[in-house]
Amino acid sequence: MRPARISAGLAAILGLTAMAMPALALRLPPVTHPATLKECSGCHMVFPPQMLPARSWTALMGDLANHFNESAALPPDVQADIVGYLTANAADAPANKAIRGLLSGVKATDVPLRITEMPWWKRSHGEVSPGRYALPQIKTASNCIACHRDGAKGVFTEN
């Protein structure tokens, strides 16, 4: 049973057009940066840099020894290479400001450390009942690829 899918299906049956529905797809360029792919995909999918502002990546990467109760510590040169890539491609990088809505609702002083704390993420997942994240095959909202099969390629559509 996939409640959010059913409601999207129901909306279609009711004749709501794509314009009346929130956009339910986001396609971002896949991560190709070698060090990021290598070091940031072992415990979860590699997250797209566009999903957080640069200051968030700087904060996360500045404390990898205390990374959500795990140690993801890296040698300084590798850490610097990755933070350079993530911040250059962050939500607030000039080329990405056109990507709709990713920064809306985020104050300049906010430093969100999770994508799942971002206002755009919460809006997009408003129809997902919180209990669904606890399902054994999902475990946590951070497990994007449990629901978005091609998430590691930057593709977040209805599967």
For ligand HEC, the closer of residues 67 and 109 by Cβ is 67
Using DSSP, state whether 31 is helix, strand or coil.
Answer: coil
Task: Please choose, from the candidates 51, 26, 60, the residue with its C-alpha nearest in 3D space to the C-alpha of residue 106.
Answer: 51
For ligand HEC, the closer of residues 15 and 48 by Cβ is 48
d(C-alpha 52, C-alpha 86), whole Å: 9
Give me the least distance between CB of 109 and ligand HEC, in Å please. Answer: 19
d(C-alpha 33, C-alpha 38), whole Å: 9
For ligand HEC, the closer of residues 51 and 103 by Cβ is 51
Give me the least distance between CB of 12 and ligand HEC, in Å please. Answer: 12
For ligand HEC, the closer of residues 90 and 144 by Cβ is 144
Give me the least distance between CB of 105 and ligand HEC, in Å please. Answer: 13
Give me the residues paired with residue 70 across strands. 67
Enumerate binding residues for ligand HEC (CB under 6 A).
4-5, 8, 22-26, 39-40, 42-44, 47, 51, 60, 64, 67-68, 70, 72, 82, 114-116, 124-125, 128, 132-133, 138, 140-144, 146-148, 156, 158
CB crowding 64-103: b at 16 or more within 10 Å, else e: beeeeeeebebeeeebebbbebbbebbbbbeebeeeeebb
For ligand HEC, the closer of residues 37 and 108 by Cβ is 37
Give me the least distance between CB of 96 and ligand HEC, in Å please. Answer: 14
Give me the least distance between CB of 108 and ligand HEC, in Å please. Answer: 19
Task: Please choose, from the candidates 141, 142, 124, the residue with its C-alpha nearest in 3D space to the C-alpha of residue 133.
Answer: 141
d(C-alpha 78, C-alpha 61), whole Å: 11
